[in-house]
Amino acid sequence: MESSEAVKKLSEELQKLPGIGRKTAERLVFSLLKSKSQQTSLLARALTYLVEKVKLCHLCGGITEVEPCAICTDEKRDKSIICVIEQPLDIALLERTGSFNGLYHVLGGTLSPLDGIGPELLRIEQLIKRVKEGKVIEVIVATNPTMDGEATALYLSKVLRPLGVKASRIARGVPVGSDLEYVDEITLVKSIEGRREI
Ligand SMILES: [Zn+2]
């Protein structure tokens, strides 16, 4: 299978993606080789397009092709509420529920002292800036209900309180220790509706 340098290289790169081991990577490479070359070229072009055009919105940190993103500039959205999430992907999950009409703010992870991740490595400064500049009334902290996610929510409530903004936490409908990614939409809607002040 790895008699070709190109095959080896692609297989190695695929294995760096989440959930892809050596066998899966090799199966994917083999499938690409088998499929019509036009299909493989389309994939290559899509990847190039992704790298060239897609960036992170400087305001919310979400994935976008225009700056600022369509959500940040949408006149119909409620600019008094900001929902804080860990990853850009979480925006898509919440948008799919159609139950949240405010703005988002991607932290880029959670505080994790054991891994050396302090506040300065997350987009907390930018959040404080947005709260200070805008007409924000409430910040909903929707970090995952893991230990680090809870610690981050607590930290945010401490830094936000002096700014006169209400900080709330999504309800416990989301199972402890789980990722928002694996929660069904109804649970997600309920967890936002049932948020409590922190
Ligand atoms: Zn944005």
User: Which structural domain, as residue segments, surrounds residue 44?
Assistant: 5-53
The rounded Å distance from CA 94 to ligand 1 centre is 14
The rounded Å distance from CA 47 to ligand 1 centre is 22
Q: Is residue 58 part of a domain?
A: no
**Residue 105 shares a structural domain with residue 133:** yes
Between CA 161 and CA 168, with CA 162 as vertex, the angle to 5 degrees is 10
Between helix 147-160 and helix 124-133 the angle, nearest 10°, is: 40
The rounded Å distance from CA 57 to ligand 1 centre is 5
**Residue 103 shares a structural domain with residue 189:** yes
The rounded Å distance from CA 103 to ligand 1 centre is 8
Query: What are the angstrom distances between the C-alpha of 130 and each of 66, 123, 134?
Result: 19, 11, 6
Q: What CATH number corresponds to the domain at position 74?
A: 3.40.1360.10
What total number of domains does the chain contain? 2
Bridge partners of 82?
A: 103, 139
Confidence tier at 184 by pLDDT (50, 70, 90)? confident
The rounded Å distance from CA 51 to ligand 1 centre is 18
Tell me: the pLDDT tens digits for 169-182? 987 665 666 677 76
Predicted structure pTM score: 0.79
**Contact call for residues 155 and 167 (beta carbons, < 8 A):** no
